Amino acid sequence: MTQTTVDAPAKDRARIPARTLRTDRWWSYPLTTFIVFTAWVIYATVRSMMGSSFWVEKYHYLTPFYSPCVSKACPADAADFGRFVPDHLPFFIPYALISLPFLLGFRLTCYYYRKAYYRSFWLTPSACAVPDKSPVRKTPGRYSGETRFPLILQNAHRYFWVIAALISIVNTWDAINAFHGEDGGFGIGLGTIILWVNVILLWGYTLSCHSCRHVMGGRLKSFSKHPVRYWLWTQISRLNTRHGQFALITLGTLALTDAYVALVAHGSFSDLRLFN
């Protein structure tokens, strides 16, 4: 009878002298993400604090960076939800005070964005099979995932999603108001189309969220007893596969929409009118 021996489990990981065995350009994703995100944050921060060139009175174009405009410095026609924030606040307090903090929280706690900035800014890790650069992870007993402050706040994503959905309704209202002609009646311009493309993609990002998918059917024990919710869950599940794409695309459409409204409001060029 042959006796089989079982090796004892290793007490430590294998020692590999190479920094990583990957030979592809694994660093391109985190580097590109770092550049794009940094540029967008700088642009969005500057624009939201400028306090100018955000409203085209002639066509009722309001940039999403200032929606809803609740400062007393906002034009009356741009403040459909009231002007109750004092206009003498410091410059770093945005006119859209009640929306931007929640939208920022929604994006920061998003599953896609967590992956993006964990890899690109924190290098934890920057790619699969690449050593982690976080000193917290390297210290035994210190790493706790997202169970301690401040990362435990990531669990608030579902609540930020509810508020983001409400703000998407506000953005839709702004797009409806953009059907404004030169004589005060119905009109369509290039700005109207840009605002609508942006808000449709924002809805795509909001509805494709994992939290939205869970609300629709995540807790159901029997799909057959809830056919409507099952259908909604199915459709959102399809959108969910493109959640990361919507997350990136909407960064571009937000910046494009804001830039277009700002340039028209500043008088750099006139809005291309399709119907007045």
**Interatomic CA distance for residues 273 and 276, integer angstroms:** 7
**Interatomic CA distance for residues 168 and 156, integer angstroms:** 18
pLDDT the model gives residue 140? 60
pLDDT the model gives residue 241? 95
pLDDT in tens, the chain (276 residues): 555 555 666 666 667 676 777 889 999 999 999 999 999 999 999 999 999 999 999 999 999 999 999 999 999 999 999 999 998 889 889 999 999 999 999 999 999 999 999 999 999 889 988 888 776 665 666 667 788 888 888 999 999 999 999 999 999 999 999 999 988 899 999 999 999 999 999 999 999 999 999 999 988 889 899 999 999 999 999 999 999 999 999 999 999 999 999 999 999 999 999 998
3-state class of 265 per DSSP? Answer: helix
**Interatomic CA distance for residues 117 and 123, integer angstroms:** 8
With beta carbons less than 8 A apart as the criterion, state whether 271 and 190 touch: yes
With beta carbons less than 8 A apart as the criterion, state whether 82 and 71 touch: no
pLDDT the model gives residue 10? 61
Token pair for 239: 């959108």
3-state class of 196 per DSSP? Answer: helix
Token pair for 165: 């959905």
With beta carbons less than 8 A apart as the criterion, state whether 204 and 180 touch: no
**Interatomic CA distance for residues 64 and 108, integer angstroms:** 18
Residue with tokens 């990362």: 151
pLDDT the model gives residue 129? 85
